[in-house]
Amino acid sequence: MRARHGNPNGTDIILFTDDGAVAVKPDDKRLAGIEIEPFAVDDRTAVRSAFERRVAAGLPVAGQDGAVALDPDSRRELATAVLMATLGAWPAEGFWRLTDNTNLPLSAPRLTALGLTAAGYYQLLFATRSALLDAVDAGHPVDAEGAWPAPSPFDPAA
């Protein structure tokens, strides 16, 4: 077994066992006799920050200044709208509000395409974040800024 600090002030420690990794407090009895290694907190923080910046930037939309928001509430709202469109309940003059508060008129099929594109891009970001954090946990150096997929702007006219 081995252990590493999970944050700069040492209040959480990651304990690595044959069964996986678990966060423990410094007074956990399982840490007895184990030398606690320093942890690459800066790398984890850099990866998380890079992920959050990309989520906050949203999915770009071709020909628009605004983007499709990717925060949790917006993703839920978009999923609900896609369900409405799939069930035939999307209004003919429906629109999606972008991050700059402009309205993007979308038919039901284009709204569905928007939802799928946004979900796919978010999943790519999430998978990249997960892979980078796994690499950090394994002690490998990572490029927290250069490893991310470039977004393909959604084209409302396609």
- Please say whether the beta carbons of 128 and 151 come within 8 A: no
- Which pLDDT belongs to residue 33? 82
Band the pLDDT of 156: cuts 50, 70, 90: very high
CA-to-CA dists, residue 10 to 34, 37, 79, 83, angstroms: 15, 11, 39, 45
User: What tens digit of pLDDT does each residue of 82-108 get?
Assistant: 999 999 999 989 999 999 999 999 999
CB under 8 Å to 61, separation ≥6 — which residues?
A: 67, 68, 98, 104, 153, 154, 155, 156
User: What tens digit of pLDDT does each residue of 16-64 get?
Assistant: 777 777 777 778 888 788 777 665 447 888 899 889 999 999 999 999 9
The chain-wide mean pLDDT, for the chain, equals 87
- Which pLDDT belongs to residue 41? 47
pTM of the model: 0.72
